[in-house]
Amino acid sequence: MNRNRMLALPVAVAIALGATACTGTSSGGSDDPIVIGSTLPLTGPLQAFGTSLQTGYQHAVDEVNAAGGLEIDGQKRQVELVVQDNASAGDTASEQARDLVLDKGAVALLGPATPPLSIPVSVAADQLKVPTVITITPIQAWKGGAPDGWKYSFDLFFDEIQMTDTQFQAADLVATNKKVALFTDQEEDGIVMGGLWADKAPTFGYQIVAHEQFPVGNTNFTSQVAEAKSSGAQVVIAQVIPPDGVALLREMKAQGYQPEVVFLEKAGDTGGYAGISDGLADGTLAANWFAAGIGTDREQEFIDAYSADAGGVNADLGTIVYGYSAAQVLLEAISAAGSLDADAIRDAIAKTDGDYPAGAIDFDDEHAAPLPAVQTQWVGNDQVLVLDGSGDAANPITAPVPGLG
Amino acid sequence: MEPVIQGILLGGLYATTALGLSLVFGVIRMVNLAHGDVLMVGAYLTSLLVVALGADPLLLAIPAAVIVGAVAYPLQRFVLNPLVVHSAEAPITATFGISVVIQSLLLLAFTSNPRTINAPYSSASVEIAGVHLRASLLIALAAAVVLVVVLDALLNRTRFGRQVKASAIDPDAAGLVGINLGHTYAVVFAIAAAVATIGGTLIALSFSVDPVGGTTWLLRAFTVVVIGGLGSIRGTLAGGLIVGVVESVGAVLVGAQYRDVVVFGILVVVLLARPNGLFTRAVRA
């Protein structure tokens, strides 16, 4: 290797590092907008979450900019939300989180929804030491991604342990024989939820008389539905993806199986679910995070603004509300920090304690802010509140499930 | 006995969804990785026609099949045919690319939410001797039998069928005697796409479809085709019934959570014992 070539390598490295440093501080100039990054599932199976979160995030950013921006080091600066589409893939979300910070100059990140996407982003955020606020990600699953605890990531959503109480609390509002048939798929949450429901049923005075497990993408529910029907279960709790939920309901209808209550978790939280299955889902229940009458801050304002876009007062609208709240928490923390220092922003997020459209947010020592899951029943295009966050009855439950009649 | 009956009904649907894949492989020797996505396209197109025209979905599946077939013809003739003569790998790669494009377009057009086609018979059942038989699956089984009979007659009793078989057995010799291979392949691909449209419609009538759902059905179709005999039309019906029964009986005997283990385990066993499928020699159309 001659002398010129020997010199060329360190010079190239220095230039590259310099270029990275320049592009990585685009939020650092006093006139530049403050960049907030978000990698979202705008396409792919989780698209509904991604588009709703983007709407909520942008709403919060627009409000801050309309008020003049955030005051950093004594100067008001506008905020720019930079979004990339991860196509519902965790590895892409991880790459994009790094790109948003290192190349786009994001000083903080907003999360992508669900553990398979949120955990890779949280890992990247901790490695890069970038404050990140996650939502639409059940807390126990998210915590499981970092046994030693997250350092720069925060999650605001419901806790699965509380959520798996709500099915039994809601079932108590209807006269049943307290016999339960569980239908759980073999995705991680299906296994976890199935175990929680099986463990908790006796505590609430319920008996699991059938526990049907099946791979994701199941179409043939014939034998499982027949077994559940013959077991006499008047309560069905299912943890299934939307297509499998349709197949399950169609098989129940075909076999003339009309339980008193059917909880269709995960599948039932797709915005337009009631319209998917020819009315079969009408009257099914699902744990939820937002509904008319939930009593949170600015509830009616968001219903008026977004129920038409969401196709009703449903989980998609709830995701917009949670996206707005997550972004609001982050923007307030940047404002409270008064600088773009990552540690200062992180410490300000940790001190969050207030009422937001998603509910009362107060992070614990593990960076989680558990918000109460509620139970809702599909009525037309709306998910109607039937059990509030305290476990008390709200609107009456229509039973047996009308769609299966 | 009930799981066997339910399995036969499900097997009819599996056969219908696999026929197009079998036909293309048998004649063109091309593995169409976009086959599952063609099923989805067919279902979405039929559902659009149902919304627009309000007629029965089974009736509207016919014009949908014609439309999809009409699009498939030039795709095979001008895009895939040049690759087929180039190498065995090139068309596989191309159909994978087509699969990605179709999925992306469906996502953009219809979002990721599942979609169903609804008809009075989509959730109805017929009770015979205490056994609930889903009407939509009965229709799927009937459709499978009809399609196999029609395709069998087309391949064995028409001049075009003889051209197709000649093209499948020895393309070079077929070309020498004046058979237009490019046109023949394209027509076969169009017929396969049309049949897939009917299969997709039956999926949406019985269960649901979504933009990326074709991959799951492609795997099932591969299993059916391999078990039934690569390229064998009648074998595809037999393969579908076998997969349906194995899946249904297996769910009862060892649990539905082991469905894929059982079905794909059978596939491996068949491949080891009869690499060309169970029915290739006996019933090849």
pLDDT in tens, B114-154: 888 989 898 888 888 778 889 999 999 999 999 999 999 99
How many Å apart are CA B247 and CA B11, to the nearest integer?
Answer: 9
How many Å from the N-terminal Cα to the C-terminal Cα in chain A? 82
Check the CA dihedral A51-A52-A57-A59 and report its sign.
positive
Check the CA dihedral A347-A351-A355-A359 and report its sign.
positive
- Amino acid A14: pLDDT: 41
- Amino acid A11: pLDDT: 41
Task: Give chain B positions within 8 Å (CB) of A276.
Answer: 113-116, 208
* Min distance A190 CA to chain B CA atoms (Å): 12
The DSSP line for chain B is: -HHHHHHHHHHHHHHHHHHHHHHHHHHH----TTHHHHHHHHHHHHHHHHHHH---HHHHHHHHHHHHHHHHHHIIIIIIHHHHHH-SHHHHHHHHHHHHHHHHHHHHHH-SS-B----TTTS-EEEETTEEEEHHHHHHHHHHHHHHHHHHHHHHHSHHHHHHHHHHH-HHHHHHTT--HHHHHHHHHHHHHHHHHHHHHHHHHHS-B-TTTHHHHHHHHHHHHHHH-TT-HHHHHHHHHHHHHHHHHHHHHH-GGGHHHHHHHHHHHHHHH-TT-SSHHHH--
- Find the mean pLDDT for residues B91-99: 95
Task: Give chain B positions within 8 Å (CB) of A215.
Answer: 256-257, 259-260
pLDDT in tens, B47-79: 999 999 999 999 999 999 999 999 999 999 999
A270 vs B57, more confident: B57
pLDDT at A74 exceeding the cut of 80: yes
- Amino acid A70: pLDDT: 96
- Amino acid A30: pLDDT: 67
pLDDT at A24 exceeding the cut of 50: no
pLDDT in tens, B181-191: 999 999 999 99
How many Å apart are CA B218 and CA A151, to the nearest integer?
Answer: 43
- Find the mean pLDDT for residues A259-283: 85
Spans of all domains in chain B: 2-283
* B19: β partners: none
Residue A28: pLDDT band (50, 70, 90) is low
pLDDT at B280 exceeding the cut of 70: no
B2-283: CATH number: 1.10.3470
From the list B116, B132, B247, the residue facing A255 with the nearest CB is B132
Is residue A219 classed as helix, strand or coil in its secondary structure?
A: coil
CA distances in angstroms from A370 to A136, A207, B235, listed in the order given: 11, 28, 56
Task: Give chain B positions within 8 Å (CB) of A280.
Answer: 123
Give the contacts of A32 (CB within 8 A, at least 6 positions apart). A26, A77, A105
Q: Is A231 on the interface with B (CB under 8 A)?
A: no
A-B contacts at Cβ under 8 angstroms: 111
* Min distance A293 CA to chain B CA atoms (Å): 27
Is residue A169 classed as helix, strand or coil in its secondary structure?
A: helix
Q: How many CA atoms lie within 13 A of A122 on its CB side?
A: 28
Give the contacts of A137 (CB within 8 A, at least 6 positions apart). A111, A113, A114, A115, A118, A155, A157
Residue A10: pLDDT band (50, 70, 90) is very low
Chain A 281-340, residues with CB within 8 Å of chain B CB atoms: none
Q: Is A215 on the interface with B (CB under 8 A)?
A: yes
Task: Give chain A positions within 8 Å (CB) of B263.
Answer: none
- Amino acid A215: pLDDT: 86
A274 vs B218, more confident: B218
- Find the mean pLDDT for residues A14-28: 43
Q: Is A224 on the interface with B (CB under 8 A)?
A: yes
- Find the mean pLDDT for residues B175-201: 94
B46 vs A380, more confident: B46
Which of A170-179, A266-275, A299-308, B15-24 comes out lowest in average pLDDT? A266-275
Is residue A242 classed as helix, strand or coil in its secondary structure?
A: helix
pLDDT at B94 exceeding the cut of 60: yes
Block residue for tokens 């559940």 = A228
Beta strand A207-214 with A235-240 is: unpaired
pTM across the whole model: 0.81
- Amino acid B58: pLDDT: 96
- Amino acid B84: pLDDT: 86
Closest residue of chain A to B47, computed from CA coordinates? A276
Q: Does the beta-carbon distance from A250 to B123 stay under 8 Å?
A: yes
Task: Give chain B positions within 8 Å (CB) of A249.
Answer: 123
Residue B15: pLDDT band (50, 70, 90) is very high
Q: Does the beta-carbon distance from B6 to A271 stay under 8 Å?
A: no
- Find the mean pLDDT for residues B205-211: 90
Average model confidence (pLDDT) across chain B: 91
Q: Does the beta-carbon distance from A218 to B256 stay under 8 Å?
A: yes
- Amino acid A259: pLDDT: 97
Q: How many CB atoms lie within 10 A of CB A109?
A: 28
Q: Is A405 on the interface with B (CB under 8 A)?
A: no
Closest residue of chain B to A251, computed from CA coordinates? B123
pLDDT in tens, A307-333: 999 989 999 999 999 999 999 999 999
- Amino acid A40: pLDDT: 97
- Percentage of chain A surpassing pLDDT 70? 92
What residues of B are in the A interface, CB distance below 8 Å? 2-3, 6, 10, 104, 107-108, 111-116, 118, 122-125, 132, 134-135, 206-210, 212-213, 216, 247-248, 251-252, 255-257, 259-260
* Min distance B207 CA to chain A CA atoms (Å): 5
Average model confidence (pLDDT) across chain A: 90
Task: Give chain A positions within 8 Å (CB) of B212.
Answer: 44-45
Candidates B108, B115, B116: best to mutate against A (most CBs of A within 10 A) is: B116
Beta strand A179-185 with A207-214 is: parallel
From the list B3, B10, B113, the residue facing A276 with the nearest CB is B113
Task: Give chain A positions within 8 Å (CB) of B104.
Answer: 43
Task: Give chain A positions within 8 Å (CB) of B208.
Answer: 242-243, 246-247, 276-277
Domains of chain A by start residue, with CATH: 19-159+297-370 (3.40.50.2300), 161-291+374-404 (3.40.50.2300)
